[in-house]
Each structure stands twice: as C-alpha cells, then as structure tokens.
Amino acid sequence: MNILFLGDVVGKSGREVIKKELPLLKTKLEIDTVIVNGENAAGGFGITPKICEEFFDNGVDIITTGNHVWDQNEIIPYITKKNQLLRPHNYPSSTPGSGFIKHIDALERSIIVLNVMGRLFMDPLNDPIETIENAIKDYNLGENIQAIIIDVHGEASSEKMAIAHAFDGRVSFVVGTHTHVPTLDAHIMEKGTAFQSDAGMCGDYNSVIGGEKNGWVARFKSKMPTGRINASKGEATLSGVLVSIDDKYGLADKIEPIIIGPLLINRMPMKTKN
C-alpha cells in the first residue's frame, strides 16, 4: 500500500496547494491513504470544521494535529464526533477527541494512525512512548493490522528519533511534524520501520515557518509582544513523504520525500508499487 503524509498546512496558501496538487498525486503515485497535519490550517492557528471538510473533499482521509489543535474553539464539538480528526493521544483521557483511529482503506486493509506530541520544549503531556505502547499493544503487523502510522509532533529531532527506534519493527512509519522544515533523513530503520524527522510544511517558504517575515523579525529583535503573526500569503510549496508498505508484513519497502513548489529543491518520487 502507498501512504502519503503531508506536513503541517499553514494558512490559505497551504490549503490551496493541497487542493491543486493532491488529486494528481493520488492518481500518479497510486496513493491509497492520505494523512495531513492540519493544525495550522486556519491562518496559522488551529483548524476549523469547514477546513476539515474541505480537506476531506479534496481527498484527505485523516487529519493529525498538535499543540495548536485547540486554537479555534469551534473545533471542540467537531472533534468529539469526527474521528478522522486526531489530537495528540497523550493528552489526558478526559480531553475531547482521540489521537487514535483504525482506518479501513478502499481495499479493506486496516491501518492504524496514531498522533502523539513530544515533551521536549513542548507542553508536559503524558509520556508519548508509553502512550504509543498502550495504544498498539493488541496489534501486530502482518497479523491483525496491515499498517501502523505515527505522527510525532515535536520540537526535538532527538526525541522523534528515539520514539522511532523504540518502535522499530513494530510500526510501519514514524514521521515528525511541527518544525515546518523538511529534513533529509528519510530512511528505513534496521527492523523495517520508515522514518523522517520532519515532513516539512505545506505553505509559503518565503516566510518564517509560514508566518509573515516582518512580524517574526520584530518579535525576535525587540523581544516585545508583537501580537498574532499572520500566515504568509505567497505561493505555497507542498511538502510531505510517500511510504510504500508491504501488505503482508506491514513494514516499509520504500520512503521518499515529496516537495513541489517554489524556493526549495523539488523532489518527486517515481511511481511506487502497491
């Protein structure tokens, strides 16, 4: 099976590049499941029910999030009834929504998607490793589940790498989000789990992590409150990762970054096998 994971969507330009590029990518690369981190899709701050529905209409199957998931209050009642929208699973159990979904694709294959948040330089949530362990303890690749995908939303590449190694051979793919910069460390680990420290950003890279440059420069220069920094409105680049997973064993056959747009060096995978 072919899984496409798209990194943090920032603002309207990020949404527009997905609308433009995703249908063609799904056909050209024979993609079975599309996962998008959408926590910055509403002007750089959170996500709304309307934007979620737009993503689903454009061919997205599952939306992950992170520390900005609650920035738009209207998402709270929505996330309680829409299980395709995830929040970090290591929030307290009383938090609305879930970070776990068992998705069935068009070929009736069962896929777990799990969203957790790191704790280094982030909010002090529950231990992400223990959270993952508890979530997948009853699932074994190649036996009762065909794939397990984990979005680790975090600042530190070291923490993301450690989490990936902790579950090497037990999950199909671990990908990092949050830093908005696509890393060049896509690889398959020793026991067959695909990994990339950060999928990058679907947004305008002529910016500071998707936000207007002047606002960020003023904030760092003066160390004074500058108010909310708006999402940059220039032409967006689509950044993500394509992973091919063996249907029988649930481990990765191939991992390739995808980058389409201005400024960054573009990368387009060859057609992958199902």
pLDDT at 223: 83
185 belongs to a structural domain: yes
pLDDT at 270: 75
The answer to whether 165 is a known catalytic residue is: no
**Average pLDDT, whole number, for the chain?**
96
266 belongs to a structural domain: no
pLDDT at 174: 98
44 belongs to a structural domain: yes
57 belongs to a structural domain: yes
In this structure, how many other beta carbons lie within 10 angstroms of the beta carbon of residue 229? 21
Marked catalytic residue, from 68, 89, 178, 180:
68
CATH number at residue 204: 3.60.21.10
Are 274 and 253 in contact by the 8 Å Cβ rule? The answer is no
Pairing of strands 147-153, 173-177: parallel
CA separation for the pair 251, 109 (Å, rounded): 14
**Is residue 271's pLDDT more than 70?**
no
Enclosing domain of residue 33: 2-260
268 belongs to a structural domain: no
Q: Residue 15 — very low, low, confident or very high, per pLDDT cuts 50/70/90?
A: very high
14 belongs to a structural domain: yes
Which phi and psi (to 5°) does residue 3 adopt? -110, 125
In this structure, how many other beta carbons lie within 10 angstroms of the beta carbon of residue 80? 12
Instruction: List C-alpha distances in Å: 16 to 22, 117, 148, 220.
Output: 10, 26, 28, 29
Burial 15-46 (b: 16+ CB within 10 A, else e): bebbeebbeebbeebebbbbbbbbbbbbbbbb
**Is residue 8's pLDDT more than 90?**
yes
The pLDDT tens digits of the residues spanning 200-231 come to 999 999 999 999 999 999 999 998 877 889 99
265 belongs to a structural domain: no
- One DSSP character per residue, 64-93 reads E--TTTTSSTTHHHHHTT-TTB---TTS-T
Percentage with pLDDT > 90 across the chain = 95
Enter the DSSP assignment of 42.
T
**Is residue 272's pLDDT more than 80?**
no
- SS3 assignment, position 230: coil
Q: Report the predicted TM-score, pTM, of the whole model to 2 decimal places.
A: 0.96
User: At 72, which amino acid appears?
Assistant: Q
Are 213 and 207 in contact by the 8 Å Cβ rule? The answer is yes
CA separation for the pair 206, 263 (Å, rounded): 8
In this structure, how many other beta carbons lie within 10 angstroms of the beta carbon of residue 195? 28
**Number of independent structural domains in the chain:** 1
CA separation for the pair 237, 201 (Å, rounded): 8
